[in-house]
């Protein structure tokens, strides 16, 4: 089955799209299908077979590569609607990963795994199908069979994670805040491979700070399970943390994170930490996360909301659609 995964990521926009596309690749691989990546990135970041160029601008090259494909998946915030329509025209099954109903998608399948997906008024057309909600959550294969962490009455450790690039430079200030107000707890800080603020993070660290440089999925799981709570950006990491039962304070660092973070907060699954620019508000909400009753409530509400095998459900659907 000729399959392509078309996406983007880099030092200025982060790696959330690439991470979830790698997870989708792994689900294809487990079903005996090996896709080819086409990536718009300023950084050579994956080991899988791929083409790396600005496909959103070089449509001629893109279409020449994917023409006649059985499945073409696009996960993008940069490509325009015309690009999507071109891909739809030359592939049997066009598959579009969406978060915010960004464009009027052409013929194909639209996937939105976010908590607010079923609230979006997607247009209903005979040539378009929708896969919506946590049933289809895309998690990397390392998460598929990991059990949730047992609840702890006391908080002895906290994870701080802001993706692979931290373009808003939040990690140093978040770490400084935790070191100042919670000096007795262990701080597990993730530093991505495109962080430009490592020196500031090192300067903010205290003797109870552990710095983890570019951990793989297995490493991320170990950090999550060794942490009682977390401070995280509002991206896909929230679903990994929810799947493993780590009570989390979410800091929105991009406009496209607002809707699903709001829904997760409304459903009592995470806490909202406010703007990354407002440290006083973050401190107030973090104090609330330290309360045992808060964490118990978040864990209860989050249980069962994320299907760790969601990516396999997507592959099953695609195989049926291509039959």
- Decide if 3-142+308-322 and 146-302 have a common fold: yes
DSSP assignment of 144-161, as one string?
Answer: TTPPPPPP-SS--EEEEE
pLDDT of residue 12 exceeding 80, the answer is: no
Question: Per mean pLDDT, which range of 130-134, 269-273, 278-282, 314-318 is the poorest?
Answer: 278-282
Band (pLDDT 50/70/90 cuts) for residue 269 is very high
Alpha helices in the chain (DSSP H): 16-30, 59-66, 81-90, 171-181, 198-204, 217-225, 237-244, 258-266, 279-289, 292-302, 310-322
pLDDT, residue 43, reads: 76
Band (pLDDT 50/70/90 cuts) for residue 203 is very high
pTM recorded for the entire structure: 0.92
In the chain, domain spans: 3-142+308-322, 146-302
Per residue in 38-63, pLDDT (tens digit) is: 999 887 767 777 899 999 999 999 99
* Dist. CA 186–CA 174, nearest whole Å: 14
Q: Which of 167, 165, 149, 144 is nearest to 229 (CA)?
A: 149
Per residue in 293-304, pLDDT (tens digit) is: 999 999 999 999
**How many residues belong to the chain?**
323
Percent of the chain whose pLDDT exceeds 70: 99
pLDDT, residue 35, reads: 96
Q: Which of 82, 86, 95, 137 is nearest to 6 (CA)?
A: 95
Output the CATH code of domain 3-142+308-322.
3.40.50.11190
**Domain 146-302, CATH homologous superfamily name and number:** Glycogen Phosphorylase B; (3.40.50.2000)
pLDDT, residue 9, reads: 87
**Average pLDDT across the chain, whole number:** 94
């Amino acid at each position: 089955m000729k399959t392509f995964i078309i996406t983007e990521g880099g030092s200025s926009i982060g790696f959330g799209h690439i991470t979830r596309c790698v997870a989708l690749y792994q689900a294809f691989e487990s079903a005996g299908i090996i896709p080819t990546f086409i990536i718009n990135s300023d950084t050579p970041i994956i080991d899988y077979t791929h083409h790396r160029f600005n496909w959103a601008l070089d449509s001629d090259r893109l279409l020449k590569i994917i023409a006649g494909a059985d499945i073409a998946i696009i996960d993008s915030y940069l490509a325009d609607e015309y690009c999507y329509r071109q891909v739809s025209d030359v592939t049997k099954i066009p598959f579009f990963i969406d978060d915010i109903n960004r464009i009027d998608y052409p013929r194909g399948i639209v996937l939105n795994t976010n908590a607010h997906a079923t609230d979006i008024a997607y247009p209903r057309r005979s040539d378009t199908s929708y896969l919506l909600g946590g049933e289809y959550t895309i998690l990397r294969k390392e998460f598929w069979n990991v059990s949730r962490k047992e609840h702890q009455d006391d908080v002895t450790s906290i994870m701080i994670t802001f993706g692979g690039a931290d373009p808003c430079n939040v990690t140093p200030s978040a770490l400084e805040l935790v070191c100042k107000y919670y000096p007795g707890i262990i701080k597990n800080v993730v530093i991505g491979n495109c962080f430009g603020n490592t020196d500031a993070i090192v300067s903010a660290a205290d003797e109870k700070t552990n710095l983890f440089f570019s951990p793989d999925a297995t490493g991320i799981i170990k950090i999550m399970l060794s942490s009682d709570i977390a401070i995280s950006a509002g991206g896909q990491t929230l679903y990994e943390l929810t799947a493993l039962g780590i009570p989390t304070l979410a800091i929105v660092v991009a406009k496209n994170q607002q809707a699903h973070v709001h829904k997760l907060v409304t459903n009592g699954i995470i806490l909202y930490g406010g703007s990354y620019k407002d440290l006083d508000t973050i401190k107030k909400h973090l104090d609330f996360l330290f309360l045992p009753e808060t964490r118990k409530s978040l864990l209860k509400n989050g249980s069962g909301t994320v299907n760790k095998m969601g990516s396999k459900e997507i592959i099953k659907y695609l195989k049926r659609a291509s039959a």
